[in-house]
Structure 1
Amino acid sequence: MIKKLELISAIAILGIVFFMLAGCGADPIAEDITSYMNNQMPSVIELQNEYLSALNTISEAGGSDAKAVASELKDEVIPLSDRLIEAAEKVIPATEEIKALHGKYISAMTKQNSGLAKMLEGLQNNNEKAVTSGSQIISEANTEYTAFVNELTAIAKAHGLEVKK
């Protein structure tokens, strides 16, 4: 079970990169992505950082105590994930392209949440299959999240925006 719990740390590694975008002009996509990252997403990113910090706490503890990990997931991580998703769902970009991109962010975060819930179920019931399934879902979510970050960067650059990490 411990090896499967190590996948949680992969989420922490993929923490969202906060982009400061500059240089809009009359490009509606450029204006929207700038507003999206600089005005709409900071509170979401703050919640994501809290969420990642809670995940790191589990990873740093080594994940050897299934009851402690289950407790941390139930009491800290999953509630933070729920709040993160709620906050992300309140963000409404102006353009269809950025709305679609943001939908991918929500999808990745929702999938992570689902994987964590499955992992919690497995830990609570001493079900290795459920823990493994949760880990696989989290891994898929991490792939989706990486694709979101890459697409965000590509769209920003395609619209002449400077991306600062």
Structure 2
Amino acid sequence: MKLGRVLFGVICLCLAAVLPACGEDPVQEDILTYMDELEPLITLEEQIVYEFESVTGVNSVDDWTTYIHIEDVVIPLYLDFIDRLEEITPATREVRDIHEIYIEGSNLQYNAFLKILSAIEYGSYDMIGESNQMLAEARALMRNYVSEFGHLADEHGVEFE
């Protein structure tokens, strides 16, 4: 359940300096605007990943500690993140379609967090397996998002350093 690696790609992509090509291109302008709107969420996403990883995997102390931390810290932060992510409304269909991939992956990850809580509550190894599968699917969506966004940026002359 290593969320950091996938999200690290998104974070690096979003924090990169943007060098636009010359000319008027509404998609290019929308990409740049989108990056500006997304940037404040990067720190929040990093915090969420840190908080989640602080009580899971090798950092897990016990089920109860994990449950309480996810319920009291991770879930509220992630709800705020998703709300703010969904407030972003790109102007062009191209950017909007890619942004929807990010929203879909984030919602799936959120539901995986909820499933983890249920798994701990019921002591269900099957539910842990289901939540791990959901997290894997969310990571795949995030990789797709990064890839599609990179392709769109390239097509419209936006370079990332």
Tell me the TM-score normalized by structure 2: 0.90
Q: Does 1:139 align with 2:131?
A: no
For residues 33 and 109 of structure 1, do their structure 2 counterparts lie closer, same or farther at Cα, with a shift above 3 Å needed? same
**In structure 1, what is the Cα distance between the partners aligned to 2:19 and 2:90?**
17
Deviation track 1:69-100 (CA, whole Å, cap 9, x = no partner) reads 11111111111111110000110111011011
Instruction: Look up the match of 2:60.
Output: 63
The alpha carbon displacement at 1:46 in A equals 2.1
Instruction: Look up the match of 1:3.
Output: none
**In structure 2, what is the Cα distance between the partners aligned to 1:82 and 1:52?**
13
**In structure 1, what is the Cα distance between the partners aligned to 2:79 and 2:133?**
20
Deviation track 1:119-148 (CA, whole Å, cap 9, x = no partner) reads 111011111111111111011001001110
Instruction: Look up the match of 1:75.
Output: 72
Instruction: Look up the match of 1:30.
Output: 28
Deviation track 1:1-51 (CA, whole Å, cap 9, x = no partner) reads xxxxxx1xx2122122223322142111111001101x2111222221111
Show structure 2 runs of 5+ residues with no match: none
8 Å CA contact 1:12–1:55 kept in 2: the answer is no
Q: Does 1:121 align with 2:102?
A: no
Instruction: Look up the match of 1:4.
Output: none
Describe how 1:1-165 pairs up with structure 2 within 5 A.
7=1, 10-15=2-7, 16-17=10-11, 18=14, 19-24=16-21, 25-37=23-35, 39-59=36-56, 62-164=59-161
**In structure 2, what is the Cα distance between the partners aligned to 1:60 and 1:125?**
19
8 Å CA contact 1:29–1:98 kept in 2: the answer is yes
- Which has the higher mean CA deviation after the structures are superposed, 95-104 or 54-63? 54-63
**In structure 2, what is the Cα distance between the partners aligned to 1:36 and 1:80?**
21
8 Å CA contact 1:22–1:34 kept in 2: the answer is no
Show structure 1 runs of 5+ residues with no match: 1-6
Runs of 4+ in 1 over 6 A off after TM superposition: none
When the two chains are superposed, the root-mean-square deviation of aligned CA atoms in Å is 1.4
What fraction of aligned residue pairs are identical, expressed as a percent?
Answer: 24
